[in-house]
Amino acid sequence: MTRRQRRLLPLALIAFTACAGEPERRVRFDDFVAHPERAEASAGVAAPATIYCGDETHYAYTLEDGASLDVPLELGRDGRLVLSGCLSHPSQTDDIETGVWRISAPVTGDGAGPARVSWRLRHDGAPGAEIDGGLDAAADASWWRREIDLAAWPDEAAAFHLEVELPPGRRLYLKDLYLEHQVVDPPRTVGEERREEDPPQILLISIDTLRADSIGALGGAWATPQLDRLVRDGEVWSPHYAAASWTKPSHASMLTGYPPQIYGGEDGPVDPAVTTLAERLHAAGFKTRGLVHDCVWLNPKFGFGRGFDEYDSTLWQLDKSVREAVDWIADHRGERFFFFFHAFEPHSDFHRLPYEAPGVSRETVADEFGTVDYGCTRSRCASARLTRIKQGKMRTLPRDPEILRWLYGKGVEDVDGQLGLLFEHLRRLGLYDRMLIVFTADHGESLLEHGALLHGNWSEEVLRVPLIVKWPGGTHAGDHRRQLSSSLDLVPTILESQGLPHDDLIGSPLHQRRADAPVFSGSVWTMVRRGDLKAIYDPRSDVWELFDLATDPGQEHDVAAERKGDLRQMAGLLHRFRLDFRQRLAAAHKNSRTSESGGLTPEDRERLRSLGYLGGT
């Protein structure tokens, strides 16, 4: 280095500092249940898995008497450590881990004696600085929650130790152990400052089993203030139809833009010749992230992970998934990305209550409806009971219609609250207004309309789902488009928004749909709707049904026999649609590729039967 270069070096450093951005502060979550590799567990601690306690299903650690957890904490500003758990009831069967899920096993011991959860926080940088605490866990298998304020220990390292003292036969389920705090990101370098000023960012949210009439602002009966705000901020399309009446084929269409016939059946992968939305966006330079609930059907072995830089199929409940999404989006907020976010709630549940929500138990059902011990008398039978009613093998109880709607609605309200937290964090990051958010569902749910339950049928309650598109910059905010659309239109819409080609797809960008264009749904049975006419075809029996929803919104009266001309037109629409699809699929096969694949394991089949799939009882 020359003398002149040495003289100029301080000036260069000053210029670099001036050009670099200021440090950015944001919320971060360190979740030690979702990421158990960050914690040190003693003997007597079972790795997190799905457990059932207090009439709720959660993903949690299981701790035996004398077990302990140790967690290192790197504290930012305004930190708080959140814990929540539940003590197994001595009268219930306990859960022993077998693989990913747990099965019932007898409890040993009468459960009498103290149940104490104790913890200690130690400040690594200040000897003697400690926070001790604890609680006597409730004996009635109810959930507890504690928050430990760490604001007095900013930007320091600490250690957290938790241990339990339990009577024989009791287990502690630890659902939450996470740190929420403010962290400061390092300032951007000059090179990073030259990145796109407002990179395109896309969030596709799919809520499993969400009916079109779930949202309060759209006529729903339940309190959904956060989704109501999304309605005001976005553009609503209705009636909007799912491409299929159950999870796997519906998501296959949602994530490819192809009709659901490409879903691969129960055991096979999505057709590997079909290019997914994630593959298209990844090729266009987007970071791609998928976070889904492991309901089996969206497992990456079925090809749903194709095109994603990261694709996680987890057993987490929605609150954990929201925290994970917030952290990932914050880490990538300066990049173009596509995030696919799937939540299992408010789908029917496995255990004693057919639909679950935090704070809802058989006792709260009894208080609300005067029905004692509503639900199953044994573990893991709630969805199975609904399936048996659906199959005509069991009768409904007198207040089932009211209770099922109430329970389902509590699940909807929980989804609303959790998504509200996600949207609020996006606002704090300055991303919400400029992000493209597409909110929808894979199918709805029958709640004893027409005597039907669950899904898999062709009723409006199952096929119609919400569609809210929040465009960047508030474009079309508050608009309500009363026009037919389907999930086949989502991929073309997203690609069109980024100026990417989509001519190979059968759907249309939403703003290019013709007002008289029909919609189609179904992987075996097939539904076609144009205007107010809705036709359903069963190829196995070669039988058609036709309904005029203008005069028969409840789909009660089949008019196929008296309106044969209309039926022929609907059949012609379906015939042309199938020809078009086959031609497009044949073209896709010219550039076919291999894909990860795999069939259902025995454990997969057991879980699906407990949810009412595969003819489960």
Confidence at residue 126, expressed as pLDDT on a 0 to 100 scale? 65
Q: Percent of the chain at pLDDT above 70?
A: 81
Evaluate if residue 248 carries a pLDDT over 80: yes
Beta-sheet pairing, 526-530 with 533-538 = antiparallel
Q: Quick one: average pLDDT of 521-525?
A: 84
Confidence at residue 28, expressed as pLDDT on a 0 to 100 scale? 95
Instruction: Confirm if 162 and 119 have CB atoms less than 8 A apart.
Output: yes
Residue 169 carries which side chain, given as an amino acid letter? Answer: G
Work out the end-to-end distance of the chain between its first and last CA atoms, rounded to an integer number of angstroms.
Answer: 79
Q: Both tokens of residue 251?
A: 């998501």
The mean predicted confidence, pLDDT, of the chain is 84
Confidence at residue 196, expressed as pLDDT on a 0 to 100 scale? 61
Categorize the per-residue pLDDT at 595 as very low, low, confident or very high, splitting at 50, 70 and 90: very low
Confidence at residue 7, expressed as pLDDT on a 0 to 100 scale? 41
Instruction: Confirm if 266 and 614 have CB atoms less than 8 A apart.
Output: yes
Domains of the chain: 24-186 (2.60.120.260), 201-610 (3.40.720.10)
Confidence at residue 8, expressed as pLDDT on a 0 to 100 scale? 41
Q: Which residues have a Cβ under 8 Å from the Cβ of 263 and sit 6 or more positions away? A: 244, 248, 249, 252, 253, 270, 271, 523
Instruction: Confirm if 202 and 284 have CB atoms less than 8 A apart.
Output: no
- Spacing of C-alpha 233 from chain mean position: 21
Confidence at residue 102, expressed as pLDDT on a 0 to 100 scale? 31
Confidence at residue 96, expressed as pLDDT on a 0 to 100 scale? 33
Query: Residues 371-382: pLDDT tens digits?
Result: 877 777 665 566
Query: Residues 323-367: pLDDT tens digits?
Result: 999 999 999 999 999 999 999 888 777 677 888 888 888 889 889
Distances (CA, A) of 220 to 37, 224, 305, 409, 419: 42, 9, 33, 9, 17
Evaluate if residue 308 carries a pLDDT over 80: yes
* Helices 400-428 and 362-369, axial angle in degrees (round to 10): 120
Confidence at residue 186, expressed as pLDDT on a 0 to 100 scale? 64
Q: Both tokens of residue 388?
A: 């048996």
Query: Residues 168-223: pLDDT tens digits?
Result: 888 999 999 999 999 887 665 544 444 567 899 999 999 999 999 999 999 999 99
Q: Both tokens of residue 339?
A: 């995030």
Q: What is the pTM for the complete model shown?
A: 0.87
Cα 302 from Cα 144, distance rounded (Å): 38
Instruction: Confirm if 374 and 237 have CB atoms less than 8 A apart.
Output: no
Evaluate if residue 508 carries a pLDDT over 60: yes
Evaluate if residue 263 carries a pLDDT over 90: no
Nearest Cα residue to 403 out of 444, 347, 355: 355
Location of structure tokens 């990913």: 100
Sequence length of the chain is 617
Instruction: Confirm if 293 and 321 have CB atoms less than 8 A apart.
Output: yes
Categorize the per-residue pLDDT at 12 as very low, low, confident or very high, splitting at 50, 70 and 90: very low
The burial of 456, by beta-carbon neighbours within 10 Å (0-12 exposed, 13-18 middle, 19 or more buried), is given as middle
Evaluate if residue 479 carries a pLDDT over 90: yes
Residues β-bridged to residue 529: 519, 534
Question: How crowded is residue 587: how many other Cβ atoms within 10 Å of its Cβ?
Answer: 11
Which of helix, strand or coil describes residue 181? Answer: strand
Query: Residues 19-31: pLDDT tens digits?
Result: 445 557 789 999 9
Cα 444 from Cα 433, distance rounded (Å): 28
Evaluate if residue 33 carries a pLDDT over 80: yes
